[in-house]
Amino acid sequence: MYDFFRSVFIVFFSSPCGGPPNKPQGTYSFPDSQLCPICGRFAPSDQAPCCYCLDKDYHFQSNKVLLQFSVEVEKLLKDFKFRKHKQSTEILCNELINYLTTTCDRPFSICIVPSNPHSIAKKGFDHSRVISKYLENKTNFKIFSPFIRKKGKAQKELNLKQRQENLRNQIYLAEQIKILPPKDERIFVVDDIFTTGSSLDHCSRLLTQLGYKEIYSITFTAKISGTL
Ligand SMILES: [Zn+2]
């Protein structure tokens, strides 16, 4: 607990000139050469892509992992995702804002993988909506919501094949989409965590059906397998 509050203290009080906060304590930074160019996870060998991505053909070009997985990052994500912890939300969303503002030099739009309605009912809040509202309040990023998600099994209970099938039945394009960015714009699909990449791939595939060609994904963190 002490370490967590120390991380929060460092994040909020060590950034010079009110700029973007430093990464929280307990997070690992690796040079790009040690990251898989597709999923963004740490890939210590000189193999590229990593063994998990070798047979994958995702509909997004690459995934950016904002914070490599660690005990501290797992706690941060759980506090955000299951407890709507304010400071965890700020730390994670500020990482996202920092990444987009420092690396993207031309117009882009964001869409967020919608939460499972079953999990929203269980927790009493929608963590995807929390991200969206935070970005709306703090930035002028363009956010659009082309997806509908109906109730269904949680992804974490399923294997890869079952996840893909589950998502096909669960997430689909809305019949009427209020805002659609220009087709030549870069689209970032945002999700909390990358494990198999199924949710991000499914949403990216739906975006290609809308005519988008430059689709990237961003996740707060990434795991090889298992659940949060
Ligand atoms: Zn990979």
| 119 or 218: which leads in pLDDT | 218
Give the distance (Å) from ligand 1 centre to CA of residue 18.
34
pLDDT tens for 82-115 read: 999 999 999 999 999 999 999 988 899 999 999 9
pLDDT tens for 135-193 read: 999 999 999 999 999 887 777 777 778 877 888 789 999 988 888 999 999 999 999 99
| 46 or 118: which leads in pLDDT | 118
Give the distance (Å) from ligand 1 centre to CA of residue 175.
33
Give the distance (Å) from ligand 1 centre to CA of residue 227.
18
How would residue 226 be classed by pLDDT, with cut points 50, 70 and 90? low
What mean pLDDT comes out for the span 71-84?
95
Give the distance (Å) from ligand 1 centre to CA of residue 56.
9
3-state secondary structure the chain: CHHHHHHHHHHHHCCHHHCCCCCCCCCCCCCHHHECCCCCCECCCCCCCCCCCCCCCCCCCCEEECCCCCHHHHHHHHHHHHHCCHHHHHHHHHHHHHHHHHHCCCCEEEEECCCCHHHHHHHCCCHHHHHHHHHHHHCCCEECCCEEECCCCCHHHCCHHHHHHHHHHHEEECCCCCCCCCCCCEEEEEEEEECCCHHHHHHHHHHHHCCCCCEEEEEEEECCCCCC
Domains and CATH numbers, the chain: 24-222 (3.40.50)
Q: In the chain, pLDDT over 70 holds for what percent of residues?
A: 86
